[in-house]
Structures are given as structure tokens and as C-alpha cells.
């Protein structure tokens, strides 16, 4: 291994996105439902719609108009009409203060920082949300560079997203970069297209067929395994 630069995804890699998502969804549901709905059914509908929206975003479609539709589309399935942009703003307010982290994240970051690796955030998402969460957790202190899709105008898995990172480190070859993330269709596919190695943090929630389509260099079940891999 000759890795010098470690590129970390944020959501559900080192920051616990699902913890904030759970609170955010409950806030939207409680605020905007106009008649009694089954919460679990509503969440299930939302997750299907949201997955489709993020597939479109990863293909390069403008993010904000799509995000502003996800809650209005969800409520529409239950014959309720709401202001999607207002619901999105409510959801975002909760996400912005989510300081939950993944198990083992601090230990991993401590270790690789001490080993002298250059650490880069490489994440999709809203600029303010991601910076706020990094600051709240204190994880911003670990990273030499922060690259966020909204801020640079390119979304993982596009080659342009990774090209932006490569330009930050002109003295390194692609063999010196390692992408670490939990999503096959953005982190791993993006790394493969960019010609760099990758670590897939497998939470067991993605269809195994995708791991054949987007093969990672390494596959781990938890962050402790990444620390051991890089030791």
C-alpha cells in the first residue's frame, strides 16, 4: 500500500446520518400532517421516494428542486398536499444540528491522523449542513480539505468530483488516494471511475448485486477494520 490521501465520505461513514434523519423525519411528520397517518407507512413511502431522488442527483440533476419535492411527493401518496420547500427546510434545521457519530469514527481518525495521512472529506450534500455537523462533532479539526458536492458543483460519483480532489494534491498519483465510504453507487462507483482504490463500509443494507457491479478494493464491516487495514 502506498496511500497518502484518505478521502472520507461523511454520512453513515463517520457521521451517523440516520440518527439525524430519524429526528428530522419525525419533525416533518408532526409538523405537516393534516390528518392522522400511520408513521411507519409514511416513512416507508418517503424512503422509496428519497432513494429515487438521490439516484437522480447522483446522475447530475440539480439537487435542490428534487429535494424540495420529496416530502410533498410523500404526503401526496396519502392524499395530503403540503409545501415541499417548507417541509425540506424543517428537515434541514434538524439535520444541521445532528452531532451523532459512527462507532469507532474518532478512534479511526485519531489513528490515521497520527500516521501522517492527508485526510479529505469527499461528500455529497448541502454545504452548510455538512460544515455544521463537522464543527459540532469536532471532526473538522482532522481534515486538511473539505469537498462538498453543493460547494464545488459536482456530485459523486462523477469523475469531476474526484478530479477536484486530485487537483488539491498535484504531487500525488492516483495510486496514492483511497476512497472510504458506505455507498456503492456513489463512493465505490465514483472511485472506480476515477481510477483509485476504495474501501466499502458494508452496513448490510445494500443489495449484493450492486457489490458485483461496483466492486470495492476492500470490504469491511466496521471502522475498526479500516484502522487495521491501514496499520
Cite the active site residues. Answer: 9, 11
Q: Is there a contact between 7 and 120 (Cβ–Cβ < 8 Å)?
A: yes
What is the distance of C-alpha 25 from the center of its chain?
17
E strand or H helix at 199: strand 197-201
> Which residues on neighbouring strands pair with residue 15, listed in sequence order?
11, 101
- What are the distances in angstroms from CA 13 to CA 9, 35, 54? 6, 36, 17
> Which residues on neighbouring strands pair with residue 179, listed in sequence order?
7, 198
Alpha-carbon dihedral of residues 65, 66, 71, 72, nearest 10 degrees? 60
Q: Is there a contact between 2 and 73 (Cβ–Cβ < 8 Å)?
A: no
Amino acid at each position: 500500500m502506498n496511500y497518502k490521501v484518505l478521502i472520507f465520505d461523511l454520512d453513515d461513514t463517520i457521521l451517523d446520518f440516520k440518527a439525524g434523519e430519524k429526528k428530522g423525519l419525525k419533525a416533518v411528520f408532526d409538523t405537516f400532517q393534516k390528518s392522522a397517518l400511520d408513521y411507519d407507512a409514511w416513512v416507508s413511502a418517503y424512503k422509496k421516494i428519497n432513494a429515487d431522488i438521490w439516484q437522480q442527483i447522483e446522475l447530475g440533476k440539480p439537487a435542490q428542486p428534487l429535494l424540495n419535492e420529496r416530502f410533498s411527493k410523500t404526503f401526496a401518496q396519502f392524499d395530503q398536499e403540503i409545501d415541499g420547500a417548507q417541509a425540506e427546510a424543517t428537515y434541514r434545521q434538524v439535520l444541521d444540528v445532528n452531532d451523532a457519530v459512527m462507532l469507532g469514527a474518532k478512534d479511526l481518525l485519531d489513528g490515521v491522523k497520527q500516521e501522517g495521512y492527508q485526510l479529505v472529506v469527499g461528500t455529497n450534500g448541502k454545504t452548510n449542513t455538512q460544515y455544521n455537523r463537522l464543527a459540532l462533532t469536532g471532526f473538522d479539526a482532522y481534515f486538511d480539505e473539505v469537498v462538498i458536492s453543493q460547494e464545488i458543483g459536482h456530485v459523486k460519483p462523477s469523475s469531476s468530483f474526484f478530479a477536484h480532489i486530485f487537483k488539491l494534491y498535484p504531487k500525488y498519483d492516483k495510486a496514492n488516494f483511497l476512497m472510504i465510504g458506505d455507498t456503492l453507487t456513489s463512493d465505490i462507483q465514483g472511485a472506480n471511475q476515477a481510477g483509485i482504490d476504495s474501501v466499502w463500509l458494508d452496513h448490510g443494507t445494500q443489495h449484493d448485486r450492486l457489490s458485483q457491479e461496483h466492486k470495492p478494493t476492500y470490504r469491511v464491516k466496521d471502522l475498526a477494520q479500516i484502522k487495521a487495514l491501514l496499520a
